[in-house]
Structure 1
C-alpha cells in the first residue's frame, strides 16, 4: 500500500501535502556569497520573486549595504542571517503555490558559457512535461537563433530529433539578454567554494608484503581488462605460463601504459593520456555521455568519441556503446531513419 508520493511537485501523505524537497534542494544548500559579485548575483535572483516576499528591502538591507561604493567587504553575522531568511522564504509554500492553468507557463533557460542552450530547453521540457504538455509555454532565452529553429529546413538529424520532441508542446520563444534573465543567470553560475577542498586523510601503510602493488585476478568478469598491465607497472609482476608470442605482444602493449596510484593510464595513438576504466564505471560514463543532461542521445561512434574526449579509455568502448544505443528507448523511437526503412519514391 502506497502511503505517500510525489504529485505535480508536491509530496502527498496522510497529514496533508508539502513541497517536494528535490525542487528546492539547490537553493536550500546554497552557501553564502563570498564576493560582491556573488551578492549581486544572489540578490538579482531573489529580486525576481520580491513581490512574494514581504519586507524584502528590510531583510536584504545588510547585504545591499555591501554593494555601496567604497564599502569594505565583510559578510557579517547579520548578513548571514539575512541570507538564510531569504533562502527560507524562497523555498516556502507561499512562493511555490499551485499554477493557474489558464495562464501560459514561462520557462527561463540560460546555459551560461559552457553548455548547449537548445539542449537545456529540451531537458527542461522533458523535466516539466506533466506541467507543460497541454499548456501554452513561453521560453525566454538569450540564444536568439532558437526562434528560427522550427522553420529550419536543413537541420542536422540531432537537431531534428530535438525539434520533434518539442513539437508536442505549444511553445513561443522570446529573446531575453542574459543580464536581464536574473532568475536563471544566478543558478547557471553557482559555484561552491567547498567543492575543491579535500579532506586530509592519513595514508594506510600497513599492507602485507605479498599483496603490495598487486591487482587480484580471479579470472571472472569483475577482473579489469588492464589487470596485467597494472601488476607490471605497479609491482613489476609478469604473467606466468604464457607463450613467447604472447609475452612479446604483452611487452609491446605495456609500454603504452603507466601507473599513477591509484589509476592506470594509457598513452593513446593521438598522444592523449586517458584513464583506463572497466565494468560498471565504464557503463556509467557511457550513460552520462549518451543520455545525461548534456548527452544528446548521439550515435554509437559519437558517444564513444565523447567518452574519449572526457579523458577515459576502455578496450570494449565501441561494443559497449553499440549495446547502449541499441537498448536506448529514446534512440529507437526518435533515431534517424535508415535508407532501408525509407518509403520508396514513386513517380506520379
Structure 2
C-alpha cells in the first residue's frame, strides 16, 4: 500500500529519495534500470545545477511504470539448487544493460537474480558488440557471490561475441571483458534469438 500511495516527485530531493527507496527491488524487477533511466538522468544534477530539474511526462511514465511493476510483479526469487548449472541471459540496449540468472530445475525455470545497469554517456557510445560484452561483465560482477565456483551457461542474442572466450578478438574492450570473466566457470556461450 505504501508504494501505491507514493506521489510523483516534484523536486530533485524527492526524486533521489524515491530512487533510493526502491533501489533494493532492482534485483527483483526485470529491466529496472532501463525503465528508471529517465528518472536517473534528472536525479544526477549537482547542487549548482538543480535549477535545471524539470519533471516531464517521460519521467511521470517511468514513475508509474515502476510503481506498477513493484505492486503487480511477483517479487520472488529462488535460491540456487546444487547440482544444476546456472544460466545467465544478458542483453544490452542503447542506454542500459541487463540480465537474468536462472536455473532449469527438473523442467521448471527458477529465476535467481535480475540485474540492470544504466550505461554511462561514454558507454552509450560503444558499438553493439562492446555493449553486449559489457552486459555479460556487469551481470557476472553483480552476481559474483552466486556465480563463482559454479558452472554457468551464458545466453546472448549477439552471435559475434559467442566466441570471445575461445579465440582472440580484434577489439580491445571485448578482449578486456573476456580477460575479466576468465575467473568464472563458463561452460559455453550460446546464441539465442533476440526479440
* TM-score class, shorter: 0.3 to 0.5
Higher radius of gyration, 1 or 2: 1
**TM-score normalised by L of structure 1:** 0.27
Name the structure where strand makes up a greater proportion of residues: 2
